[in-house]
Amino acid sequence: MFDCDLNKRGVPEVVASKWDELCARLEIHFNSLALLRQAFTHASYRNEHKRPSLEDNERLEFLGDAVLELVVSEFLYKTKPNQPEGELTRMRAAIVCEPTLVRFARDLQFDQFIRLGRGEERSGGRHRAALLADVFEAFIGALYLDQGLESVRAFLDRYVFPNAESYANLKDYKTTLQEWVQQHDASPLRYVITEERGPAHAKEFVVQVLLGETVMGEGSGRSKKEAEQQAASVALARLAEQEKSR
């Protein structure tokens, strides 16, 4: 665990040397540490501190989302010359979807650098899937502004594209779960939205998947489809564990 200081509000605050440590670990030298810090600054942190010069990462996330989609599209176009447009679109979606971005963020320990407000910290925001995915996209946006597209390509070449094939070949969890239900003559599946949180421009959906009246899994995402896929993934993992225990 990286060292943090506690600010006067009792919220963990990343010390300056740790930004350098993050850069060293990623083998990236940011010309503007302010951009790097902004990528990890949640709106709740900015709202609590109210410094005119303090910016949150929402605009960087917006930019990073577009940059990420561009570079991933380029990668697939060059490395999959025989794939039709529809298959390339599916593969890109598998790489840039929230669960995949969350995995990247956690692998890189980005969660330890996020600057959150006190309330968001207490509610577990540091580990929330949508927030982690947003931070990853914001980091891509910051890297693009700081060093350009080539550095983004180099970063993705190192940390994303080596796993792109396996991610792109992931099955549709909802379809897989439905196939299991049909094979086992089980009760019908239902997906229920249990919560909608966040502002309109960054809404997060929480969905439960029920087998009959039993909750089999819960997922969250920036769209209902992503949340349903995550819930189906959790349900499949639970069913696999049940099979092992028999």
What residues form the annotated binding site for Mg(2+)?
Answer: 61, 134, 137
Q: Which residues are catalytic?
A: 65, 137
Q: Is 175 exposed, middle or buried (0-12, 13-18, 19+ CB in 10 A)?
A: exposed
Nearest to 41 by CA among 53, 29, 30, 31: 53
- The values of phi and psi at residue 32, to 5°, are -120, 100
Single-letter code of the amino acid located at 71: V
Query: Both tokens of residue 16?
Result: 């300056």
Mapping DSSP to helix (H, G, I), strand (E, B) and coil, where does residue 56 land? Answer: coil
Q: What angle do CA 109, 13, 116 make, to 5 degrees?
A: 75
CB atoms within 10 A of CB 157: 12
Show binding-site residues: 61, 134, 137
Pairing of strands 12-14, 214-221: unpaired
Closest by CA position to 114, among listed 61, 50, 53: 61
